[in-house]
Amino acid sequence: MYITRLCADGFKNLKKIDISPHESLNIFCGKNAQGKTNLIEAVWLCTGVRSFRSTKDSRMIDIDRDNMEIELSFKNSFREQTVRYSMSKKDIKEKNIFLNGVKVKTPSRLFGQLNCVVFTPEDLEISKGSPENRRQFLDLCVSQIKNNYAGVCAKYERIIEHRNALLKSIYSGKSSKDELEAWDIQLSQLGSYISLLRYSYTKKLNTFASKLYSEISQGREKLEIGYYSTVFPKLEGKKDYAGEMAQEYLKVLKKNTDEDIRSGFTMKGVHRDDMTARINGLICRDYASQGQHRSVALVMKLAQAYILSQETDDSPVILLDDVLSELDENRQKFVISKIDGMQVFITCCDKNIPFEKNQHGRLFNIEGGKIKTQRRKEKKD
């Protein structure tokens, strides 16, 4: 799949942008704070998936303007589609989103149409960072291929908040322990569903990532990715999330209730789970070098792109925001070779990126939120 046209106006600092990207390579060069990441974010918004930068809605509109509008057209082997996304400061909650001219109620209704994989310098922390980083990565990946998943996660988070408030209230004698039951039943079902989907995604991730890692390390190192559940000692073979799994989940919550009341916090559950990466058997979090962490993060992101291709029968658009300059030459070349054939948007500060001089693509210059096309090199038929 590839983006054929992108217009944006009033989205953060972007001003009257109207570009026709190349089918494969698009490079956006510009100094710091000119709008490179904003441009990537504008594309991302049209996927319907939560902002990778956690930008608040009100901050998406230019501070000096009242409205913002993005229009993006993309094509797959079947058809061309258009997303129009606009927001106004007057009514920030009301987003005007249209898919092919038809209004959709929420951004999540755009899921599964435009598929992108965004790669930012922060993503290089997936392996090294906190379990929360990895859970976020995993949840975003799953939500791209499973429509209702983001909604289930949001519901789970709301219930955890209620439960934690109740735990504190029980501790101070204002509420009784019996009140937990209703929350626990809901948590058990939602948590079991999340566990199952995350586990199954992790298995797919492992298949692709371990193969890629073997390549990047020239066969010297073996990467294994697994899912660490705080609730289920074993997830393999489990299916019945509403029945058997939920019962097991509930038992774990009940067993921990007294400790939870003392701490005012729910200690077990998918909000405490982790994804584990091991190189040659050693847990990366504890043993990996900086370089190994980077390679693990790279292969995970590439695996995300491959899984999307597999699940949707179409390659996603790859958005590389300022990451190439963070990588050494070997890793740069590796990434580029692995996304060959997909449409790529690359943002960078200089033009010294490792692409062949004669490679087909377009080079854009971005300054003060405005974009100029610098060079085109089109494919000859």
What does the binding site for ligand ADP look like in residue numbers (CB under 6 A)?
A: 12-13, 30, 32-38, 59, 61-63
Closer residue to ligand ADP (CB): 35 or 269: 35
Q: Give the residue with the Cβ less far from Mg ion, 36 or 204.
A: 36
Per the listing, tokens 């999340």 go with: 194
Q: Which residue has the tokens 């209004």?
A: 103
Residue 77 binding: pick among Mg ion, ligand ADP, none (C-beta 5-8 Å cut-off by kind): none
Nearer to Mg ion, 29 or 235 (CB): 29
Distance CA 69, CA 97 (A): 10
21 binds, among ligand ADP, Mg ion, none (CB under 5 to 8 A by kind): none
Q: What are phi and psi of 70, to 5 degrees?
A: -130, 140
Nearest distance, CB of residue 169 and Mg ion, angstroms: 44
CA distances from 77 to 1, 24, 74, 368 (A): 7, 15, 10, 35
- Binding-site partner at residue 30 among ligand ADP, Mg ion, none, CB < 5 to 8 Å by type: ligand ADP
Nearer to ligand ADP (CB atom), residue 120 or residue 188? 120
Q: Residue 32 binds which entry of ligand ADP, Mg ion, none, with Cβ cut-offs from 5 to 8 Å by kind?
A: ligand ADP
Which residue has the CB atom at the shortest distance from Mg ion? 37
229 lines the binding site for Mg ion (CB under 5 A): no
| Residue 228 CB neighbours (<10 A) | 14
By beta-carbon proximity to ligand ADP, the closer residue of 87 and 212 is 87
DSSP states along 162-216:
HHHHHHHHHHTTSS-GGGHHHHHHHHHHHHHHHHHHHHHHHHHHHHHHHHHHHHH
CB 326 within 8 A of CB 124: yes
Shortest distance in whole angstroms from residue 322 CB to ligand ADP: 7
CA dist., res. 159 & res. 81, Å (int): 37
d(CA 234, CA 281): 19
What x/- string results for residues 17 through 56 when contact with Mg ion is judged by CB under 5 A? -------------------xx-------------------
* Bridge partner list, 103: 98
Nearest approach in angstroms of CB 364 to ligand ADP is 12
Residue 189 near which of Mg ion, ligand ADP, none (CB within 5-8 Å, type-dependent) = none
Q: Which is nearer to ligand ADP, 36 or 271 (by Cβ)?
A: 36
- CB 303 to ligand ADP: min, Å: 26
Q: How far is the CB of 16 from ligand ADP (least distance, A)?
A: 14
The DSSP output letter for 77 is: S
CB nearer to Mg ion: give 36 or 95. Answer: 36
Number of residues lying near Mg ion (CB under 5 A): 2
What does 35 bind: Mg ion, ligand ADP, none (CB cut-off 5 to 8 Å by kind)? ligand ADP
Q: Is 136 exposed, middle or buried (0-12, 13-18, 19+ CB in 10 A)?
A: middle
Strand order in the sheet with 361-367: 116-119, 317-321, 344-348, 25-29, 361-367, 370-377
Residues at the contact surface with Mg ion, assessed by CB under 5 A: 36-37
